[in-house]
Structures are given as structure tokens and as C-alpha cells.
Chain A
């Protein structure tokens, strides 16, 4: 990777980093703890740490730095909640027939899935949701969490297996 001349210490660069990564970092924490406000705080604190260390962190490494710092900050905070993702109320468009029964069934399934996500182990959940919701590639997730791509795949695989078991009550 070529060393860029962009200094994190310059406010426009910092703002640009914020615009690019803030939401991803916020979600990373959110998928762990399920508390929107806590996630927001941790994210902001991570950016403040980035600013404090702006001389030491090169532009290209800023994202990794933010994720690591946010992770560590989060681990220092004790309170953790269940992750209850909201799902959109948009009816599923790929189904032509929407009988009342079918709608009920769908709704029940979504509720079960919501609960199942909440019950996933933290490590699996964050990887799985980063991929499925934030559309991060395995490579990106590995970089964000500081783990190997192989480990990301393992967690993805196990997460899906686990979700099925939870939804099916196996």
C-alpha cells in the first residue's frame, strides 16, 4: 500500500474519515450490544482517540485503528443488551399470493428470526450482520475485527447453522 500524504490531523481529512467510516463502526458496536446510544458513544469516542493519535495513525490504517479502538472501548463497558434488529414492514414483493394465513406465517417467522439473531453468540452475530446487513465482504470484516478471513467464514457458517436451529427450535 502506498503511503499517502493525507494527514489524519487535518480536519477535512478527519471529517472525510468520519463520513466514510462512522456508520460502519457504529454498526459494528451495535451488532455486539444492541444499544444504539452506546454504539454511537463508543464510535464517537473512537474518533476522538483517532484525533488524539492523529500523528501516529496513517490515513490508510485509520479504519483498522477505529475498529480496534471501538472494540476495546466497548469491551471496557460492561452493560450489554440483546440485539433486537428492527425489520422493515415492507411486504415481501417476490410472493404473488398473500393470503392472511401466509402473512401471519411470515410475521411469525420474522419474529422468530429476530429473537434468534439476538441469541446468537456475539462473535457470530457481529460477523453475520456485518455481512448480511452492511454488505461487508469477508475481507473487510476480517480487517475490521482483526481476525483471519478463515475465522470470518467459520463464524458465518456457524451463525447460519445456529440461526436455523434457533428458528426451528431444534
Chain B
């Protein structure tokens, strides 16, 4: 029987799947001619044209963009290679730090990997990390040095009393026992003391640390005097001057009972110990006896 419930005789008919008995029955239905006409009519309908070539081309073009996002998984061999590389890097890190030290009476010129140069004064040391230098230009300094920094990312000089941050410039850092002094000879530097004081120096500016404050001063020379073999002091405690003499000539003072806090203005050169001692000690009224590397001082 052709009943609509649970029966899809039209579907079967369309599929040429109707059993003959039902087909006869269907043909007797008044609707049959309509169905037949509809089905015949449908033969003349088409889907819109499809341009396979064009469509494929645009699809493949669209594919090209997301394709780049695809994550390429590492092949096992690459794991091995990367493990080996990691070990190499770890070993490398142990030999990463490079340091230079000058003994008293020595000076050293250093060229850093980016072409920046550092002149290291006597009894000073400088160290930096070799790897990734160009992305992290930072040196640790103890003592005194003059920097000529090539342009690039910021360059940091780290000392125990403060740090100096620059772009491309020339400047001198003096970080001695009781002294922290930065002079800018070209460009611009920013000095931050460990007490969080900050000062921006331009060409000709200098600062020194006194009682935890950064005190500005001016420089008149085009390069630090020590680089031309001289030291100059303006109203500095004698102790600091004596320290510098010790560093430059690799001598030791037996300071005895002299007053190291009296102020000294003047200088000495690095060429001749006899003249240097004379130029500092005679004006201060201090007698001295040189015994090899030892110099004994006494007030007159």
C-alpha cells in the first residue's frame, strides 16, 4: 500500500527502486502525471557553471598565507642536534666571561666585540660577557677606564657605586676606593648611583660622588689626563692622591702619622717617580725616603 506514513515510495520511485506492484499503484494515482512532469522538468535545470581551474587557483593562493603559520615539528635528528648545541652553549657560557686586569703602573687598551674601545687605567679590571654581546652591551668595571662607545644598543658600565648608560659616546669612569667620578667627553651618558641618584651628562660635564650625592663639575680637556700620563687634583684629600701614586708607580706608601685628609691641589706625571713624588709631597711639606718599592712618609 502507498501510504505516506513511514513510506517513501516517491523516493524509491525516483531511485527506480519501487517494486512493480507499488509502481502500478502509483501510476494509477491522479498525482502521478504531475510527479512525472516535475521530474522531467528538473532534467532541464542546471547548477551554475563551475570553473574548476580558476577555483583551484584562487584556493591555492589563499592556502599560501596560512601555510606559513604551520608549525614544523622538529625531526628526531634535530632533537639530537639541538641537544648537542645546548651542551655547546652551556660549555660556552662557562667560558663566556672575559676579563682584563691591569696591575699598578700598567695601562691597557681593549677593543670590545662591537668595536668600542676601552682604555683601562692602572690597577683596574673590566669584564664582559662574550656571547650575545651586541644585544647586551654591558661591562663591569672596577677602577678607572675611558670608553669610546660605537653606536648601537645602549651600553652599560656597571660599577659597585653606580652605573653608566650610554648610546654612542666617549666618557671616563673613575671608580676608586673612595671615589666615583664620571666625565663625558662626547655624546650623552646617564649616571645612576647605587643610591638611585641620576644625572645626565653631556659633553664637558662630569659628576663625582660625595656623601652619597652626585656633584656636577666641568671638564676642559678633550680626553682624560691619565691617558696622556698625568693626574690632576683640585682640592682632593691627600689620601686619594697617594692612592693614585701607588697605582701608577706600583709603590707602597708607609703613611705613618701624616694627615691624609689635608687637601691637595696639583698633579703629577707617570713618567718619573722622583719628579712625581716631589711635585706632590714637597708642596705639602712631607718628607719621604724611597726604599725600592716602599716610600716612607713623615711630616716635617
A residues at B contact (CB < 8 Å): 15, 18-19, 22-23, 26-27, 30-31, 36, 40, 43-44, 47-48, 51-52, 85-88, 90, 92, 109-110, 113-114, 117, 129, 131-134, 137-138, 150, 152-154, 156-157, 160-161, 163-164, 167-168
Contacts and interface: CB of A to CB of B under 8 A. Distances in A.
Contact of A88 (B8, B38, B46, B55): B46
Contacts of B37: 109
Contacts of B62: 44, 48
- Interface size bracket, B side: 35 or more
Instruction: Name A's interface SS.
Output: helix
Contacts of A88: 44-46
A18 B38 CA distance: 33
B14 A160 contact: yes
A156 B44 CA distance: 18
Contacts of B43: 132
A48 B34 contact: no
Given A36-B48, A131-B14, A161-B10, A44 B41 contact: no
Contacts, number: 119
Instruction: Name B's interface SS.
Output: helix
Contact of B11 (A19, A48, A156): A156
Contact of B8 (A27, A133, A156): A156
Interface string B20-60: 00000000000100110111111111111010100110111
Contacts of B91: none
Contact of A22 (B4, B11, B12, B52): B52
A168 B34 CA distance: 9
